[in-house]
Chain A
């Protein structure tokens, strides 16, 4: 179960706007899914270790060698707004 307040909190964490008329239906949908997910509470998982990665990797590290960076115009090309050779965003301190 997820209620309106929890949904708003989660949407806030995820930076997703939710319209008022989306709130109840979304909360209901998510609750149905979460209730189904909760069926795994039936499993006894005592002593079972979590798996975060499958497979064994021998050496996943990178040697400290410089590789060419992107030309700046290429890096900036897909940006929605650019100024002074940087990515322009509304100020975090803005109203």
Chain B
């Protein structure tokens, strides 16, 4: 029974529960036990029991929630020592929406501190291991969420994506990750990294699960002034063909130096599958893409430097005692934040400071305008832009920690869409030397239904099987 349970996708499990073939408690307990014996360090907290009322269309299929989300009475530490043991008095809207749809919280998942990182090594609660190869990183910052789903410790998980933090770990762990249109999912209660870029989305085993999860995630929230109502219901994808669909490949970007041969091969194979389904593949240019990375590494740290000012030892979290206020501030923040967070706070503070604003922040915002208009121009003639999600497969733990810049380059393909606020999905395109490779499909704002449809068709054609990672418990 346990293996049968494990083999059920979240959507299948929800259907089985609805039919009465499967008990909610049974499913919850199955995953609870697996999460509780997690050896990947994917979880930072696991529920003791299922909550009493779990009615709703998600039928009781439990969710793993990135620790960046506030959950009332449950530790919400954002991967940071400065929030060690912090239990908020309220629950994030995204989580509350899922709970209201009948998805109880299974546990909270590990992450890079305040979502700053691409390897999950910047966590005060230790690195997460990749279930495909435990000497490698799961990607980040939603590394715990991705590893938990890939290893079958959770049916699905909630993550966040600021510059690629859902898509890149999904790619490195061989699962599906959807970064929504900016504003489609409420950010209320999601601990802010970079407010103008942050978005919450699903990490799931397959595209159908992503659509089902996403359906209950979207919605205008009056507590988030930047949230918008999604213009149409989220459909469960049924497409099996890509006839009449044009896929645009940013050639200069994809043929660049940093991309691994195995990744390129897998990408080419995926394009071949797409052609086989009837798609037309064309080449396109995003000339600003290399500069998008620069813009991102100004805008995100600048917003973060301000967003993280609230961690000052006054109202919650860590305080280092001192006899004067300034020493209390500076020592609390010195001890409470990890190196990468401090690095970004310093860069962001510098970029906003008097005399540098125009050269950095002002310029980055203009690059952002250019990136968005270049993407929008491509979508005039192409349905989707496709790229590999990450230039490399999962790299070794510790391999890139000494070189922050090399780490930043992992986000080369995901950052333009973050700057433009447009949606993108990563689905597995195959394996390279036994490690998963991700394919990124990007569309214009609010094209999630079409993206999910195309991803569904490709997913079927590619036929990726991730079940071998489940044994890594």
Contact = CB atoms under 8 A, between A and B. Distances in A.
A and B touch in the complex (CB under 8 A): yes
Interface of A: 2, 6-7, 9-11, 13-19, 26, 29-30, 32-34, 36-43, 45, 48-58, 60-62, 70, 74-75, 77-81, 87, 89-92, 94-95
Contacts of A74: 89
B370 A89 contact: no
B179 to A, nearest CB: 13
Nearest to A11: B346
Q: Which of A54, A81, A94 has the most CB of B within 10 A?
A: A54
Contacts, number: 165
B337 A55 contact: no
Interface of B: 86-87, 89, 181-183, 196, 222, 225-228, 288, 290-291, 294-295, 297-298, 305, 309, 312-319, 322-331, 333-334, 337, 342-343, 345-347, 349-350, 353, 360, 362-370, 372, 404-405, 408, 419-421, 445
Given A16-B342, A32-B405, A91-B325, A43 B370 contact: yes
Given A50-B362, A51-B369, A39 B294 contact: yes
Contacts of B349: 10, 13-14
B366 A54 contact: no
Nearest to B291: A40
A45 B408 CA distance: 24
Given A15-B312, A37-B294, A55-B181, A48 B196 contact: no
A89 B314 contact: yes
A48 to B, nearest CB: 4
A51 B328 contact: no
Given A30-B343, A33-B405, A40 B364 contact: yes
Given A36-B405, A39-B291, A92-B325, A52 B366 contact: no
Contact of B225 (A7, A60, A92): A60
A56 B291 CA distance: 25
Contacts of B331: 17
A39 B360 CA distance: 11
Given A33-B297, A80-B313, A95-B324, A57 B364 contact: no
A23 to B, nearest CB: 11
A42 B325 contact: no
Nearest to B225: A60
A54 B350 contact: no
7 contacts: A6-B350, A15-B326, A33-B408, A37-B297, A43-B367, A48-B366, A78-B87
Nearest to B361: A50
A61 B86 CA distance: 30
Nearest to B352: A13
Q: Which of A6, A26, A50, A74 has the most CB of B within 10 A?
A: A50
A26 B291 contact: no
B288 A2 contact: no
A95 B227 CA distance: 45
Given A16-B346, A50-B365, A79-B315, 17 more contacts: A6-B350, A10-B353, A14-B305, A17-B334, A40-B294, A40-B367, A42-B291, A43-B288, A43-B367, A50-B369, A51-B372, A54-B182, A55-B445, A81-B319, A87-B315, A89-B325, A95-B324
Contact of A52 (B196, B291, B318): B196
A62 B225 CA distance: 9
Contacts of A10: 346, 349-350, 353
A62 B223 CA distance: 9
Contacts of B294: 36-40
B363 to A, nearest CB: 6
A90 B322 CA distance: 7
Contacts of B372: 51, 54
Contacts of A57: 183, 225-228
Contacts of A81: 319
Contacts of A42: 291
A94 to B, nearest CB: 4
A50 to B, nearest CB: 3
A29 B288 contact: no
Q: Which of A19, A37, A92 has the most CB of B within 10 A?
A: A37
